[in-house]
Amino acid sequence: MINKIMTLLVMIAMLPAHALKIEINKGQVAPDPIAIVDFYGENGDDSETGTEIAQIVKTDLELSGLFLPIDSASFIESKETLCNKGANIKNWNILNARFLVYGKITGNFKIDFVLVDVVTGDKMLSLNVSGTQSKLRKVAHIIADHIYERITSEKGYFNTNIVYVETSYNKDPTKRKTRLVRVDQDGHNRQELTDGSELVLTPRYSSDAKKIAYISYSDKAKDVLGKSAHVYITNADGRRKDLMLSKDIMKLLIKKNHGNPVQMTYAPRFSPDGEDAVLAIIIDGKSAIYKYNFASNRLTQLTEHTCIDTSPCFSDDGSKIVFTSNRQGRETIYIMNSDGSEQTRISTGEGKYSQPIWSPRGDLIAFSKQVGRQFYIGVIKPNGSGERLITSGYLVEAPCWTSNGRYLTYSMEVAPGAKTQIAVTDITGYHTRIVKTKADAAYPAWSPTVGANDR
């Protein structure tokens, strides 16, 4: 059962009073009606393009849970009239629209658009976005980002990607293939990043969205590693793949640990500045956390191989690291400084905690939790207070924040043997949607905002 209890303070921070009206009714937030008119093409051939752009913008804003697009069949003014004469606010007040968006496509695929506050009649935004026909969806996502940012004062997240692990089966259900797949946040523009020849797990984006760290079960370096799972890094387009830790570093680790092999490297996360990564390493059956600096090729041990310390993640400013440990008998959440000092437990609730991830805003840490046979996704403040469960199910796990820290994506399985899906929910847990995927999908990682010239 999804926990629908609203946290009013969170929503006030999310939706400034000057921009959006907040109505609390049994824990629900009423989305604001918004009229999005098909974009007008100065060239008659642009009519279908203008309709497609408007539809993508509508879908983005509606999926955020904060906006309710008004049926275009009820519009009184045409796109031509709006672009040539401007809006008659009375015609949009009649429809109870809170906001109005319209625009036109000019030469060289330049799009001018306007956002109007229907209540005041003021233009909140008047911008132009340039692109190409081949990147039409990107242009539309950028427009939706601008609208979202202007109204909510929160950074937009529509021009982003999700990378995840896709599992497909042949006729023999015991044989499976896993691969990394990347899609736009709305599920479009699917691209396979690996070929399915190796078992892959837990992809993680770098802060610039140009690299992806993940686990691969591979014998590429079996002379040092043996057949085991280790962390690799690939370009975001999947064209290059390298071990995160070099063979020389692995040899030093083996020597330092009296010849005991490195059984597994896993759970990687990049630092906010991209200069470091944290990961967990298993030696002699015990897992410890290490920090790796890319420039110096230096690996620093942060915790000891006395228990299972895993799932490290940097804070938003890189000064601290959150992780889980079973050093007190069951998995709980700890925080330490980025040099490994001042290791402090912050979670005190029942059950087992796992997969903590620090919000890009720094205000919350999301986590997975198991109590008995029930699984949850929750959030907690860095000081250990305010634990709140957002969603639950037969199996929900692997949370990951959007770049603005107001939405979470996670893996979801509704029943044993059911298709594993990627879900997205807002920070209240009220508004949840499923990202459409071709096959079973798990371990989603949401990219930072993609650059204007990127995919």
Asked if residues 380 and 340 have their Cβ atoms less than 8 Å apart, the reply is: no
Sorted by sequence, the CB contacts under 8 Å of residue 58 that are 6+ apart come out as 36, 69
- pLDDT on residue 24: 33
Share of the chain above pLDDT 70, in %: 89
CATH number of 17-152: 3.40.50.10070
10 Å Cβ neighbour count for 97? Answer: 25
- pLDDT per residue over 234-292, tens digit each? 998 888 889 999 989 998 999 998 888 889 999 999 999 999 999 999 999 999 999 99
- pLDDT per residue over 17-71, tens digit each? 334 433 333 345 689 999 999 999 877 657 789 999 999 999 999 999 999 999 9
SS (H, E, C) 178-241: EEEEEEECCCCCCEECCCCCCEEEEEEECCCCCEEEEEEEECCCHHHHCCEEEEEEEECCCCCE
Query: How is residue 262 written in tokens?
Result: 């490195």
- pLDDT on residue 21: 38
* Whether the predicted model's global pTM rises above the 0.95 cut: no
Domain with CATH 3.40.50.10070 in the chain: 17-152
Share of the chain above pLDDT 90, in %: 73
Asked if residues 407 and 401 have their Cβ atoms less than 8 Å apart, the reply is: yes
With cut-offs at 50, 70 and 90, classify the pLDDT of residue 171.
Answer: low
- pLDDT per residue over 204-213, tens digit each? 999 999 999 9
Rounded Cα distance, 116 and 96, in Å: 13
Domain with CATH 2.120.10.30 in the chain: 161-446
Residue 142, CA distances (Å) to 118, 137, 139 in order? 22, 9, 5
- pLDDT per residue over 414-441, tens digit each? 888 889 999 999 999 989 999 999 999 9
Rounded Cα distance, 293 and 297, in Å: 6
Sorted by sequence, the CB contacts under 8 Å of residue 81 that are 6+ apart come out as none
- pLDDT on residue 19: 41
Residue carrying structure tokens 């629908």: 4
State which H helix or E strand residue 90 sits in. helix 89-93
With cut-offs at 50, 70 and 90, classify the pLDDT of residue 157.
Answer: very high
Longest dimension (CA), the chain: 80
Residue type, 218: S
- pLDDT on residue 108: 80
- pLDDT per residue over 364-414, tens digit each? 999 999 999 999 999 999 999 999 999 999 999 999 999 999 999 999 998
Long-range pairs for 69-76 at CB < 8 Å and ≥24 separation? 69/33, 69/34, 69/35, 69/36, 70/33, 70/34, 70/35, 70/36, 70/95, 70/97, 72/35, 72/36, 72/37, 72/38, 75/35, 75/37
SS3 256: helix
CATH superfamily of 161-446: TolB, C-terminal domain (2.120.10.30)
- pLDDT per residue over 280-335, tens digit each? 999 999 999 999 999 999 999 999 999 999 999 999 999 999 999 999 999 999 99
Residue 358 pLDDT greater than 50, yes or no: yes
Rounded Cα distance, 423 and 410, in Å: 5
Q: What is the mean pLDDT of the chain?
A: 88
Lowest pLDDT segment from 105-119, 160-174, 242-256: 160-174
